[in-house]
Amino acid sequence: MVAVLCVAELCMERVLPQTEVMHEPVCQERLQIVVDDWLGAHEGYTLESASCQSLESLRDRAAAVTETAPGHFVHEGRVADFVPDSAGDLANTGFIAGSSGVAVIDSGTTRQVAEALYLAVRLSSTLPITHHIITHVHPDHSLGAEVFKEAGAEVIGSAGLRPAALNANPVFSDNLLRLLGPRAFHGTSPITPDRGIESAETINLGGRPLHLQAWPTSHTNSDLTVIDENSATIWMGDLAFLDHLPALDGSIVGWIQLLSRMAGSPDGFEYSVSQMVPGHGKAPVEFPDGVVPTLGYLETLAAEVRQSISDGESLTEATKHIGKAQRGDWQLFDEYHLRNVTNAYVELEWE
Ligand SMILES: [Zn+2]
């Protein structure tokens, strides 16, 4: 189903997901109900028109995905900042299909990006989308989640995700509407998860177990990984970055501890893992080798910040030189490094 929906005189065509794959007569019957439900949940929007369209006619709007192992699909987001021409397609996302259902991991920043991923799912599988897993609170991974809730998925994150999202989503929304512009952000309405995972849980998509693990504060206070046992792949969320400079928004000490453990003894994991999907950059890559660039950046940052504090430097002085030797190794260094130094300094000052 698609509908042209208007807000503040801006009308755009939106994809309205269905909980099951419908043939046209059923779609026609359900159209008005789905549209009314959507309008009821989205204050300020009005309907211009709505229609049933074939999946095939929407194919060019689907996200580009690669089937990296049977039933395991990855979409690589762009390595870019929140600029209008990115449309918010900045994080790696994807989906995993078993014999009874599909789980979608992360959604992108906007409804538009999530709709594209939804179409990619539907072009690959007619199974119900049973789970939408959010790896952490950051908007480039989570703000499009509503599309998968509309598709019938249970929205799951770490136990820390709900409070973090309640706190941050209004600010993320205001900022991203401004940064991406009203067209890219059209229809985007952040949600909170249906359920939080305290430590670990296994969900099964039908012959396809996914092992979800929530972690102590690292990249953020809501980090969660997903291991797809069948393909031996771990979805790291932003616990690992490639190409895109890591962004520290949690605890540098916690993050280093976690990645050191992963890099040092992958066999310590209960499940065998050989591939990983980082939150940003090339995916998939080998695990645990793929965590090494992030760990190296963080260890250097922590060492230099500790030295600076013990030398009695102020934060202002510290930001002038710390970590600058790593500038050539990463994209978006100037956008994120200064904030990383500041956050690390504020944390390590109290050690
Ligand atoms: Zn993040």
Taking only the tens place, the pLDDT of each residue in 293-313 is 999 999 999 999 999 999 999
- b/e code 103-123 from CB counts within 10 Å (16+ = b): bbbbbbbbbbbbbbbbbbbbe
- 193-214: per-residue pLDDT in tens? 999 999 999 999 999 999 999 9
Mean pLDDT of 311-326: 94
User: CB-hemisphere CA count at 13 Å for 93?
Assistant: 36
| pLDDT value at 266 more than 70 | no
Q: Which CATH class is domain 57-291?
A: alpha beta
Pairwise CA distance, residues 95 & 335, whole Å: 30
User: Which of 204, 188, 124 has the alpha carbon at shortest distance from 150?
Assistant: 188
Type of residue at 235: W
DSSP 60: G
Q: How many CB atoms lie within 10 A of CB 317?
A: 12
Mean pLDDT of 73-82: 95
- Any idea how long the chain is? 351
Backbone torsions φ then ψ of 131, nearest 5 degrees: -135, 140
Percent of the chain clearing pLDDT 70 (strictly above): 99
Structure tokens at 245: 């400079």
The CA dihedral of 267, 273, 274, 279, to the nearest 10 degrees, is -120
264 band by pLDDT with thresholds 50, 70 and 90: confident
pLDDT of residue 286: 96
pLDDT of residue 23: 83
Q: How far is the CA of 157 from the centre of ligand 1 (A)?
A: 14
User: CB-hemisphere CA count at 13 Å for 208?
Assistant: 21
Q: How far is the CA of 1 from the centre of ligand 1 (A)?
A: 32
Mean pLDDT of 29-51: 95
Structure tokens at 54: 């074939």
Q: Is the separation of the CB atoms in 121 and 132 below 8 Å?
A: no
DSSP 331: B
**pTM for this model (two decimals):** 0.96
| pLDDT value at 109 more than 60 | yes
| pLDDT value at 7 more than 70 | yes
| pLDDT value at 265 more than 90 | no
Q: How far is the CA of 135 from the centre of ligand 1 (A)?
A: 9
User: Which of 233, 52, 244 has the alpha carbon at shortest distance from 140?
Assistant: 244
Q: How far is the CA of 296 from the centre of ligand 1 (A)?
A: 18
pLDDT of residue 21: 79
| pLDDT value at 268 more than 60 | no
| pLDDT value at 150 more than 90 | yes
pLDDT of residue 85: 84
pLDDT of residue 325: 93
Please give the sequence-ordered ranges of beta strands (E in DSSP) within 170-241, or none if there are none: 195-197, 200-204, 209-214, 224-228, 233-241
- 121-134: per-residue pLDDT in tens? 999 999 999 999 99
Q: How far is the CA of 238 from the centre of ligand 1 (A)?
A: 5
Q: How far is the CA of 282 from the centre of ligand 1 (A)?
A: 16
Q: How far is the CA of 34 from the centre of ligand 1 (A)?
A: 33
Q: How far is the CA of 349 from the centre of ligand 1 (A)?
A: 23
Burial class (CB in 10 A: 0-12, 13-18, 19+), 188: buried
Q: Is the separation of the CB atoms in 73 and 96 below 8 Å?
A: yes
Q: How far is the CA of 287 from the centre of ligand 1 (A)?
A: 19
Q: How far is the CA of 100 from the centre of ligand 1 (A)?
A: 30
Q: How far is the CA of 132 from the centre of ligand 1 (A)?
A: 17
36 band by pLDDT with thresholds 50, 70 and 90: very high
24 band by pLDDT with thresholds 50, 70 and 90: confident
Q: Is the separation of the CB atoms in 198 and 228 below 8 Å?
A: no
184 band by pLDDT with thresholds 50, 70 and 90: very high
Q: How far is CA 193 from the centre of its chain?
A: 13
| pLDDT value at 267 more than 60 | no
| pLDDT value at 22 more than 80 | no
| pLDDT value at 269 more than 80 | no
Q: Is the separation of the CB atoms in 151 and 17 below 8 Å?
A: yes
Q: Is the separation of the CB atoms in 165 and 190 below 8 Å?
A: yes
Residue 351 or residue 275, greater confidence = 275
Average pLDDT, the chain: 95
Mean pLDDT of 246-258: 97
Pairwise CA distance, residues 1 & 297, whole Å: 46
Mean pLDDT of 316-322: 93
Q: How far is the CA of 6 from the centre of ligand 1 (A)?
A: 31
